[in-house]
Structure 1
Amino acid sequence: MTDDNYQFGTSRSLPKGKDKREDYRLTARARAWIQRESPEPGSDQSELARESTLECQIRDISARGLSLVSAEPLTVNSLLMAEVSLGHQAKAFALMVEVMWCRQTDEGNLIGIQVLASDDTDYLDWMDAVATALSEG
């Protein structure tokens, strides 16, 4: 299996946790980069992006959300920008997300985020990519 193959179920190397998602989920080796702070107008956005971006491993994926494993916790109910790379896609998806829950585990922080429909994001492309991956599964 290559890194961009999808499989159903939960990877043994990632922490397990209960979730309340209604959608069918994919498990994939994918990455998300969460921007914890928004840059101020006129500021050096590239420097802030390096300092405030948190790289996370994706535990599982559905059309409406992601389960992430992170070294640092995120604040519940916060609205954040994220970039999500699915491996088989040519570019990462820019998405607006809401942190729904965050639990500390032995392996790190397990975080549930909901993908929000928002202008100037790749929301529709994201929905299409997840639907395609589900149909191939």
Structure 2
Amino acid sequence: MSDIDYRFGDYDDAPEAGDNRSEYRLTASASVTLELESPIPEAQGGQSGRTLVSRTRDVSARGIRLTTAEPVIRGALLPAWVTLEDDNEPFGLMAEVVWCRASTETSWLVGLQILESDDTSYLEWVESVAKAMSEG
């Protein structure tokens, strides 16, 4: 990860309610895919669920701030796949939408809390973010 600029983020565009972050965040670019609707298991023709692909603004072991092309529901628990620049495989995580607010007429800023959950890549995610912080 040494070729990527993971810097401690500034919080100028944090929600108006104040910055409730309990740990440092790194300004980082990563791809995030949120599963907004699950696929129907018995669906004919391989129907898939509905996903939303976006980019991060900053990351920490327990949270992600990203920009989306549509709003997401506050309080929603969503499966998420996060791919950091140096990792080939995405981290499968469970995330809760903590806040969502309009950024422009066509984009929204979203705050996600990463939840510790069985059958996810939570521990690997925490280790990867810790490594990025120690290298930065």
Gaps of at least 5 residues in structure 2 are none
Equivalence map 1:1-137=2 (5 Å): 4-10=4-10, 16-18=13-15, 19-43=19-43, 47-49=47-49, 52-106=50-104, 108-137=107-136
Distance 1:7 1:46, change over 3 A: farther
Cα distance, 1:9 vs structure 2: 2.6
Task: Give the whole-Å Cα distance in 2 for the aligned partners of 1:94 and 1:121.
Answer: 5
Q: Which amino acid aligns with 1:39?
A: P
Asked if the contact 1:3–1:29 (Cα under 8 Å) also holds between the matched residues in 2, the reply is: no
Question: What amino acid is the match of 1:6?
Answer: Y
In terms of fraction of residues, the more helix-rich structure is: 1
Q: TM-score, normalised by structure 2?
A: 0.86
Cα shift readout 1:57-103 (whole Å, capped 9, x = no counterpart): 10000110100100100000000101001111121101010000000
Normalised TM-score (structure 1) = 0.85
Overall identity of the aligned pairs, in %:
44
Structure 1 residues 83, 116: CA separation in 2 closer, same or farther (over 3 Å shift)?
Answer: same
Mind listing any 5+ residue stretches in structure 1 that lack a counterpart?
A: none
Q: 1:85 to 1:44 in 2, by over 3 A?
A: farther
Checking the alignment, whether the CA contact within 8 Å between 1:34 and 1:53 is kept in structure 2 is: yes
Instruction: Specify the code of the residue in structure 1 equivalent to 2:57.
Output: R
Is the 1:4–1:86 contact (alpha carbons within 8 Å) kept by the matching residues of 2?
Answer: no
Give the C-alpha shift of residue 8 in structure 1.
2.3
1:57 is matched by which residue type in structure 2?
R
Count of matched residue positions in the alignment of Structure 1 and Structure 2: 131
Partner secondary structure for residue 128 of structure 2: helix
